[in-house]
Homo-oligomer: A and B are copies of this chain.
Protein backbone atom coordinates (compact mmCIF):
# COMPACT_ATOMS: atom_id res chain seq x y z
CA UNK A 1 0.00 0.00 0.00
CA UNK A 2 1.23 3.47 -0.82
CA UNK A 3 2.18 5.59 2.16
CA UNK A 4 -0.86 7.80 1.90
CA UNK A 5 -3.86 7.33 4.12
CA UNK A 6 -6.24 8.18 1.30
CA UNK A 7 -4.67 5.89 -1.29
CA UNK A 8 -6.84 3.24 -2.87
CA UNK A 9 -10.11 4.19 -1.23
CA UNK A 10 -13.15 2.30 -2.52
CA UNK A 11 -15.20 4.13 -5.15
CA UNK A 12 -18.38 2.35 -4.03
CA UNK A 13 -19.55 0.56 -0.90
CA UNK A 14 -17.84 -2.78 -0.34
CA UNK A 15 -18.98 -5.97 1.34
CA UNK A 16 -16.63 -5.62 4.28
CA UNK A 17 -14.51 -3.10 6.08
CA UNK A 18 -10.86 -2.92 5.11
CA UNK A 19 -8.17 -3.11 7.73
CA UNK A 20 -4.49 -2.52 7.05
CA UNK A 21 -1.56 -2.46 9.43
CA UNK A 22 0.68 0.56 8.91
CA UNK A 23 3.10 -0.04 11.75
CA UNK A 24 3.64 -2.87 14.16
CA UNK A 25 5.98 -3.04 17.12
CA UNK A 26 5.62 -5.30 20.14
CA UNK A 27 2.81 -3.75 22.18
CA UNK A 28 1.96 -1.17 19.49
CA UNK A 29 -0.05 -1.35 16.28
CA UNK A 30 -1.15 1.47 13.99
CA UNK A 31 -3.79 0.62 11.45
CA UNK A 32 -5.99 2.17 8.82
CA UNK A 33 -9.58 1.06 8.71
CA UNK A 34 -11.78 1.98 5.77
CA UNK A 35 -15.52 1.67 6.19
CA UNK A 36 -18.06 2.12 3.44
CA UNK A 37 -21.37 1.95 5.24
CA UNK A 38 -20.62 -1.00 7.53
CA UNK A 39 -21.66 -1.19 11.15
CA UNK A 40 -20.91 -3.71 13.88
CA UNK A 41 -23.25 -6.69 13.66
CA UNK A 42 -26.37 -6.45 15.84
CA UNK A 43 -25.53 -7.27 19.43
CA UNK A 44 -21.78 -7.32 18.78
CA UNK A 45 -19.47 -5.38 21.12
CA UNK A 46 -15.75 -4.88 20.80
CA UNK A 47 -14.00 -5.67 24.06
CA UNK A 48 -10.29 -5.29 23.52
CA UNK A 49 -7.45 -6.17 25.85
CA UNK A 50 -5.42 -3.27 24.46
CA UNK A 51 -6.10 0.42 24.80
CA UNK A 52 -6.94 2.26 21.59
CA UNK A 53 -6.53 5.85 20.49
CA UNK A 54 -8.66 6.35 17.40
CA UNK A 55 -9.07 9.22 14.96
CA UNK A 56 -11.81 9.57 12.40
CA UNK A 57 -9.80 11.04 9.55
CA UNK A 58 -12.57 11.44 6.99
CA UNK A 59 -16.19 10.44 6.57
CA UNK A 60 -18.71 10.06 9.38
CA UNK A 61 -19.63 7.46 11.97
CA UNK A 62 -21.59 6.85 15.14
CA UNK A 63 -19.73 5.10 17.92
CA UNK A 64 -21.59 3.69 20.90
CA UNK A 65 -20.15 2.80 24.28
CA UNK A 66 -22.18 0.26 26.21
CA UNK A 67 -21.94 2.43 29.31
CA UNK A 68 -23.41 5.45 27.55
CA UNK A 69 -27.04 5.94 26.64
CA UNK A 70 -26.47 7.27 23.14
CA UNK A 71 -24.04 6.84 20.30
CA UNK A 72 -21.47 9.58 19.75
CA UNK A 73 -21.57 11.15 16.31
CA UNK A 74 -18.05 11.45 14.90
CA UNK A 75 -16.92 13.88 12.24
CA UNK A 76 -13.61 14.26 10.44
CA UNK A 77 -10.92 15.12 12.96
CA UNK A 78 -12.70 13.71 16.02
CA UNK A 79 -10.55 11.45 18.14
CA UNK A 80 -11.08 9.52 21.33
CA UNK A 81 -9.40 7.14 23.68
CA UNK A 82 -10.90 3.75 24.38
CA UNK A 83 -9.81 2.14 27.64
CA UNK A 84 -9.02 -1.59 27.61
CA UNK A 85 -12.15 -3.74 27.85
CA UNK A 86 -14.53 -0.81 27.52
CA UNK A 87 -17.27 -2.29 25.39
CA UNK A 88 -18.14 -0.35 22.26
CA UNK A 89 -19.55 -0.81 18.79
CA UNK A 90 -19.86 1.10 15.55
CA UNK A 91 -23.53 1.91 15.07
CA UNK A 92 -23.12 3.27 11.57
CA UNK A 93 -20.70 4.72 9.05
CA UNK A 94 -21.39 7.01 6.11
CA UNK A 95 -22.81 5.19 3.10
CA UNK A 96 -21.99 7.82 0.47
CA UNK A 97 -18.35 8.40 1.22
CA UNK A 98 -15.52 6.25 2.62
CA UNK A 99 -14.86 6.62 6.31
CA UNK A 100 -11.16 6.43 7.13
CA UNK A 101 -10.06 5.65 10.68
CA UNK A 102 -6.61 5.73 12.12
CA UNK A 103 -6.32 3.44 15.13
CA UNK A 104 -3.37 3.25 17.51
CA UNK A 105 -3.61 0.12 19.65
CA UNK A 106 -1.22 -0.17 22.55
CA UNK A 107 -0.84 -2.77 25.27
CA UNK A 108 -0.69 -0.84 28.50
CA UNK A 109 0.81 -3.75 30.41
CA UNK A 110 3.56 -4.39 27.88
CA UNK A 111 5.03 -0.92 28.05
CA UNK A 112 7.38 -0.27 30.93
CA UNK A 113 6.33 2.50 33.28
Binding site for B on A (CB under 8 A): 3-7, 22-23, 25-28, 30, 51, 53, 55, 57, 75-81, 102, 104, 106, 108, 110-113
Contacts and interface: CB of A to CB of B under 8 A. Distances in A.
* Chain A interface mostly: strand
A25 B108 contact: yes
Nearest to A6: B77
A80 to B, nearest CB: 6
B112 A27 contact: yes
Given A4-B77, A4-B78, A4-B79, 20 more contacts: A3-B78, A3-B79, A3-B80, A4-B75, A5-B55, A5-B77, A6-B76, A6-B77, A22-B53, A22-B79, A25-B51, A25-B106, A25-B108, A25-B111, A27-B112, A28-B106, A57-B57, A102-B102, A104-B104, A112-B112
